[in-house]
Each structure stands twice: as C-alpha cells, then as structure tokens.
Chain A
Amino acid sequence: MMLSIKNLHAKIGDNEILRGLSLELKAGEVHALMGPNGSGKSTLANVLAGHEAYHVTGQVLFEGEDLLAMSPEDRAAAGIFLAFQHPVEIPGVGNLYFMRTALNSLRRQRGLDELDAMDFLEFAKEKMELVEMDRSFMSRSVNEGFSGGEKKRNEILQMAILEPRLAILDETDSGLDIDALQVVANGVNSLRSKDRAMLVITHHQRLLDYIVPDRVHIMAEGRILRSGDKQLARALEEHGYVGFDQVSLEPSVPVAARP
C-alpha cells in the first residue's frame, strides 16, 4: 500500500473538519475524491501535504513511513505533491528559477546531483509541451498575473517536473473552460504510471470524463461516506449530494475502517 490513512481527525481551534477519515491508495491507482463544499476535501489535501494550521490525530502511513511526523519539505522529498486549488503568487521570483530550486532541493535530499540552468531548461522544455505552456511563462514571476487556467497549468507543469510518487490534485478543474480542462487532463493522463498514485479532488463528474479514476470516494462531514468505481460518480451526478445517503447504489462498498 502506498498511502494508508486510518481514523484521521483534523481541527482548527474547536472546529473539527476531518472526523475519522480512512482511505487507502495503491501505486498505479487514480482515485477521485468528491463531496459537497465544506465536506473536508481540501483540508485532507492540506493535512497530507503538512499544512501547520491544523491539529491532527490519527495515522497516515506513506510507503510505510509515519507521514504526520514529517515536515512539509520532507514530505515533498518523500514524493508527495499537492497541486494547489489557489496557487499563490511570489512576486519577483522567476517561475523557471523557482522550479529549478524546487527540483534541486528534492534532488539534493535524494542524494542526486543538482541540475544547472542549461540542463534544467532542456528538461523543462519537454514538460512545458505537455501542458502546452509557452516559454514566456517561465521568465515571469511565479503565478504573478497568471489567469486562473494558467495557474492550474503551471501546477501540472510543476508536477511533471518534480515527478512525485503521490500527486494530490485539489480542484484542479475548478474555473477551467473546456479547452483548458482538456489540456490539464491530457497532462495528468500522460503522467499516470504504475509507480505513481493520484488523488483527484473535484466537485464535478465532468473532470472524470477525461481523467478516468480507478476508484471514487464520496466525502461528507469529514468522512468517506461511500466508495465505489467510476459509476459512483455518475450516480452522484444524477442524484446530487442531497439525499445521497438514501439512494441505493450498486455496486456499493462501505468503507471498512469507519469508526
């Protein structure tokens, strides 16, 4: 098992957002995580990446290691990547420079040689084609003045460059028009591999027409409510989240480790 989450709780102050969530992901699998606003999807993404705003209890093992004991940068070095829902702008820091610094930080921690500027540029050029990104983006400041779609493509580009073991995509489809969605989905699909797992968080069934998941999880009130194959997402689209609990679905697999 690549990722194993057991009875995960997370709160900010007195507000408990994750309430005993359990989930497992194998290498090579793509899982979709769906659920209404406020169900805790983004919180799960942030907690897995190591955001320090939350008080977290429970167990998360990544490749057998205790993920919760690691700093965000150590998690990145271990191979966890988060495509942010709202990528931040870093004025004055060049996009290319930022990505090279990130890659070299990871390479250093993995005992590999750092890439110099020329080698990195060659390497990055290929990846840029993957998300149809123009070279001019690389000399601009990180995300500064990027449109919503450009920011999302920039996230997928970073994923392509950093080559993570586990990629978490937090609503990468939100705010994208259909063309941008296709570009992003193509990028993601080309990065699917037997060594890499992905957790795709989305509001909409639409994305799953392009990125076909192996498993679908429905989340509500800080827990996984139901898990199934891709048919589950279609059923959800038909019935909506309201009253979803009452609808009988086949095949339906209850979550094993629900408290």
Chain B
Amino acid sequence: MTGTSSDIVELASREYQYGFVTDLDTDVVPPGLSEDVIALIAAKKNEPEWLLEWRLRSYRHWLTLAEPTWQNVTYGSIDYQDISYYAAPRPKAALASLDEVDPEVRAMFDKLGISLAEQERLGGVAVDAIVDSVSVATTFQKKLAEAGVIFCSFSEAVQNHPDLVRTYLGSVVPYRDNFFATLNSAVFTDGSFCYIPKGVHCPMELSTYFRINAANTGQFERTLIVAEEGAYVSYLEGCTAPMRDENQLHAAVVELVALEGAQIKYSTVQNWYPGDAEGRGGVYNFVTKRGRCAADAKISWTQVETGSAITWKYPGVILQGDNSIGEFYSVALTANRQQADTGTKMIHIGKNTHSTIVSKAISAGHGQNTYRGLVKVLRSAEGARNHTQCDSLLLGSDTGAHTFPYIEVKNSTAQVEHEASTSKIGEDQLFYCRQRGISEEDAVSMIVNGFCREVFKELPMEFAVEAQRLLNVSLEGSVG
C-alpha cells in the first residue's frame, strides 16, 4: 500500500525529454558585451544603419539600468560579460529550399517531434524554426504570400521589409521599457516577423519553434506581429533547450500590434529546461510580451508554462482603442525547484474596454508560483470592465503559491472583479478516483487537467493535446 502524501511529492519529480545536445558547427561570438560586439552582430546580419543606431541607443540606456529585484524569485547573480550574444548554426551554403537545411538541424527538429519536411508536406501550420540566435527555416512561405501574409525570420524582414519593421519595432515595447527588454533591444539576433494585411484572415496557424542549443549562449529573440485593420491571426510558440548544468538566459521581446478590428491570438507552450531536482541548471526566462489594441481590436494571450528554472513574464495588453478586448489565460506549473513570477498587465485607456484574466498555478515538489497582475483603468476608460480569476493548486506541502494583484482605477464607471482561490489536491478526490479503479498517477493528472480546463480550451486543438501531454509528463513520477 502507498502513503498518499509522499507519493504526491514523488509525482512532482520528473525527467526532461528534450535535454539532448545536437553537435552543430556553430558560429559563436566570444562572450562579452560592448558596442563592438553589437556592431559585429549588426554587421554579421548586414543591418541598415538606423537599426544599429537603435541598438546602440538601447545599449547605452541599458548601462544606466539596474537589474530588477522586486520579483518573488531568487537566483544567483548573472554575469552579463560571461554570455555569448550571438550563436548560429553555420550553414553549409545559402539555402534555396527546405531540402538544403543542414541534416543535423533537421534531425534535431525531428527528434523534437517537429518534422520540418512533414510540416511542409502535410501540416496546416507554418513553422519558423529558430536555433540559438538565428532562424534556420520557415515553412509555407509561398502559400502565405499568396494571401499577402508575410511570415519570415526577423532578419529577413529587416532586409526585405525594412519600412514595416522600422514603423513598428519598439512601438509597443519601447527600448527603454525595462532592464531585460532594453538588453534585448541592444543585442537581439533573430526572431519571427509576421504581417497580416487589411481584412485578411490568415489561412493557417503560424508557429515559431525556439531551440537553445549552444552552451553559454543567451537567446535574445524578437517577435513582431502586425495585424492590419480587420485581420486575424493565430500564432503559436514552442520552446525547448538541452539539459546543462549552467543556467541559460532567455530574454525575449514580443510585440503585437492589432489595428482597428483586428484579432491576434497568441499561444505559448513553454518547455525550456527547468533544471534538475536540486535546482542546478535550467533556463532563466525573462520575457517582455505586450500587445496594443486599436478600436474594436482583440488580443488574446494563452500560455502554458511548464519549463524554465525561473519564469518572469507578464504578457500584457494596452487597450488603447474604444471597445477593445484583452484576454490572458495562463497555466503555470512549477515542480522541483522551479520558480515562476508571472501574470499580466491590462491597461485600459479606451472606452468600454474589456479584459479577462484567468490564471491557474500548479505547484509541486519545492515549486514556488507567484501570480502578479496589474489592472490599470485610466481616467479616459469610461465603462471599462475587468474580471480576474486566480486559482492555485498545491501538490504536496513544500510548495508555495502567492498572489499579488495590483489594481489602479481612475474612472468610477469601471467594474473590476478579482477572485482568488488556493486548494490542495484533495486526498479525498484521489481516494474517490482510486476507489473507482483509476490509478493514483492517472487520478492526479485527471484532477490537474480538470483544474486547467478553462485555459486549455482556449488553445488551438493540436496545442491543447500537446499541453495536456506535457503536463502529464511534467507530473510523471515513480508511482506505479
């Protein structure tokens, strides 16, 4: 017979599936950060003068900033001079088609369950695959181009669509925004760019897959999505990294621009390496994600966060236009020694703007989970409404769940509601399931998936299945 509470602790321990390293011939800039390094990155990428200037402005501003310490996480200090700011798998030659992608790179993506070739043939999802600092392949470009959709790596966008990039880069997350976003602005190397013209409903899901491979490398990518008036796009983002004893820094910036009546649905399944049971290694995930809505526009963030040693991210929406809508649905799982400080920012500026926040936090092992959310209603936001729901589920007694809601309301017609709950996975729920013949491990995963259902139903179908599977793997333990 098994003792239930100790088993729950064991359920929280887990193996990381994506911890392999691929032996790629990689072009790495030596560690260290300076104006010379930034100029080198810009030169390698053949960037226009204005972009280099923007990078240098960011860098000079970054030098005046101190790393933030207000978040509810602890980690050793990061030596920014010990990180390499550029790493790229060295291509054998320039790519004319997907067939020419380095076989090692293709094999790596196959192993991750993302077959680039298959995506091209069968899939209904266009993928931009990013390894370390650069994009290695983007599928379906031709088909998307027929609809007028631009979906390419950030570097290509800088070369081929410089005006669009110049107009929108930094328009939602300015380079002065915060320590990590400013660092990203100085050194970002690649990322995805996506542009949906006026009135176009993007014919397929767009997806970016991020992979950190090289050691001691920071990944600083930038994603920029612009949906013109009345356009619609659903965008998926997935991430993994090898198991390494050192920590890896990931400081990304995502900017979403939804013009009048446009809709952007942005879904993330984040599965960076979380570190081992003792808290060695793992990715530091310090990410700034924000969208801006014009009138009648809608931006929806859905995230499933199961990885990273530390997660620090607050995908937000600036509800600038009247009647615009912002949504944030989040599942954050922390197991072993993982720490997450995550939530959202909803800034209500326009009239009758609505926002919905649903946050589900699951803590297992020694995991610490913090919800931190800002709902700000400005004087101009007549009739603004927000509903926030934060639920925490604790598995085991060494876990922690914390909630820090910040609410600032300057308009008396606004309605802001906040609900919060914390529950322990019930021994009585487990016993009920087991009495019906369901094994303890299946019961835990069933209860946890039930707890997350409100969020999972917001994910595109394939992603919801993936998220559920990931959650089960993350909770897999030695019971059985």
Which positions in A face B, CB cutoff 8 Å?
49-53, 69-73, 75-77, 81-82, 84, 87-88, 90-93, 98-99, 101-103, 105-106, 109, 141, 158, 162
Q: How far is the CA of A106 from the CA of B429 in the complex (A)?
A: 18
Partner of B442, one of A71, A90, A101: A101
Instruction: Map CB proximity to A onto B1-36 as digits: 1 under 8 Å, 0 otherwise.
Output: 111100000000000000000000000000000000
B450 beta carbon closer than 8 Å to chain A:
yes
A90 and B445 CA atoms in complex are apart in Å by: 12
**Shortest CB distance B423–A (Å):** 9
Identify 4 new A-B residue pairs, CB closer than 8 A, beyond the known A88-B432, A90-B447: A52-B1, A71-B434, A93-B446, A141-B450
Chain A residue at minimal CB-CB distance from B431: A51
Q: When the two chains form the complex, which single residue of B438, B447, B451 contacts A102, counting CB atoms closer than 8 Å?
A: B438
> For the complex, what is the distance from the CA of A158 to the CA of B438, rounded to whole Å?
13
| Residue from the list B2, B450, B454 in contact with A90, Cβ < 8 A | B450
Is B252 an interface position by the 8 A CB rule? no
User: What string of 1s and 0s marks CB contacts (under 8 Å) between B445-470 and chain A?
Assistant: 01101111110000000000000000
Out of B437, B450, B452, which one reaches A73, CB within 8 Å? B437
- Bound form: Cα–Cα A76–B428 in Å: 16
Residue contact A71 to B437, C-beta cutoff 8 Å: no
List the B residue with the shortest CB-CB distance to A162: B436
> Taking the nearest CB of chain B, how far is it from the CB of A45, in angstroms?
10
- Cross-chain contact B434 with A76 (CB below 8 angstroms): yes
Residue B426 interfacial (CB < 8 Å)? yes
**A105/B426 contact (C-beta < 8 A), A52-B3, A90-B447 known:** no
Interface pair A76/B437, CB less than 8 Å apart: yes
| In the complex, chain A residues whose CB is within 8 Å of the CB of B452 | 92
The one of A73, A103, A158 in contact with B434, judged by C-beta atoms closer than 8 angstroms, is A73
Contact with A88, one of B4, B426, B442, B449 (Cβ below 8 angstroms): B426
Whether B431 and A92, one on each chain, are in contact in the complex, defined by CB atoms closer than 8 angstroms, is no
Instruction: With both chains docked as a complex, state the minimum distance between the C-beta of A59 and any C-beta of chain B, in angstroms.
Output: 16
Q: Give the Cβ gap from B329 to chain A, nearest Cβ, in Å.
A: 14
A52 to chain B: closest residue by CB: B4
B435 on interface, CB distance cutoff 8 Å = yes
Residues of A within 8 A of B327 (CB): none
Residues in B neighbouring A73, C-beta threshold 8 A: 434-435, 437-440
Report how many A-B pairs have Cβ atoms within 8 Å: 83
Structural contact, B437 and A77, CB atoms closer than 8 A: yes
Contacts of A82 in B (CB 8 A): 435
Known contacts: A51-B431, A71-B2. The answer to whether A91 contacts B451 by CB under 8 A is yes
Question: How distant is the Cα of A38 from the Cα of B229 in the complex, in angstroms?
Answer: 69
Q: Who on chain B is nearest to A79 by CB?
A: B437
Q: Is the CB of A162 within 8 A of B437?
A: yes
User: Can you spell out 20 A-B residue pairs with CB atoms less than 8 angstroms apart?
Assistant: A50-B435, A52-B1, A53-B427, A71-B2, A72-B431, A84-B432, A87-B432, A88-B428, A90-B432, A90-B450, A92-B453, A92-B454, A93-B446, A98-B436, A101-B438, A102-B433, A102-B436, A109-B437, A141-B450, A158-B436
Q: In the bound complex, what is the Cα–Cα distance between A168 and B11 (angstroms)?
A: 30
Cβ contacts under 8 Å, B446 to chain A: 90, 93, 98, 101
A56 and chain B: residue at smallest CB distance? B1
Inter-chain contacts of A50 with B (CB < 8 A): 1, 434-435
| Most interface-central of B426, B427, B428, B452 (chain A CB within 10 A) | B428
Q: B437 near A102 (CB under 8 angstroms)?
A: yes
- Alpha-carbon gap, A46 to B426, bound state (A): 16
- 6 closest Cβ contacts across the A-B interface? A92-B450, A93-B450, A76-B437, A102-B436, A92-B453, A72-B434
> Quick check: B447 and A93 within 8 Å, CB to CB?
yes
Distance of B54 from chain A, by nearest CB (Å)? 46
Closest-by-CB residue of B relative to A75 is B435
- Report chain A residues within 8 Å CB of B431: 49, 51-52, 72
The distance in angstroms between the C-alpha atoms of A90 and B432, with both chains bound, is 10
* Interfacial chain B residues near A84, Cβ < 8 Å: 432, 435
The interface residues of chain B lying within 8 Å CB-to-CB of A53 are 427
A98 to B445, CA, bound (A): 12
A77 vs B434: C-alpha distance when bound (angstroms): 10
CB distance from B431 to the nearest CB of A (A): 6
Q: How far is the CA of A98 from the CA of B429 in the complex (A)?
A: 12
CB distance from A117 to the nearest CB of B (A): 15
Distance to closest chain B CB from A55 (angstroms): 11
Residues of A within 8 A of B438 (CB): 73, 101-102, 105
Nearest CB on A from B450, distance (A):
3
Name the residue in B426, B436, B453 with the highest tally of chain A Cβ atoms < 10 Å from its Cβ. Answer: B436
Contacts of A90 in B (CB 8 A): 429, 432-433, 446-447, 450
Looking at the assembled complex, report how far the CB atom of B430 sits from the nearest CB atom of chain A, in whole angstroms.
Answer: 9
Once the chains bind, are B435 and A72 in contact (CB under 8 Å)? Answer: yes
A105 and B437 contacting across the interface, CB-CB below 8 Å: yes
| Given A88-B426, A101-B442, A76 contacting B435 (CB threshold 8 A) | yes
Distance A70 CA – B436 CA, assembled complex (angstroms): 14
Given known contacts A93-B446, A141-B450, is B1 in contact with A71 (CB within 8 Å)? yes
Most buried by A among B429, B433, B446: B433
Q: Which residues of A contact B453 (CB under 8 A)?
A: 92-93
Q: Which residues of A contact B437 (CB under 8 A)?
A: 73, 76-77, 102-103, 105-106, 109, 162
* CB atoms of A76 and B449 under 8 A apart: no
Q: Which residue of the partner chain B has the closest CB to A107? A: B437
Query: Which of chain A's residues has its CB closest to B457's CB?
Result: A92
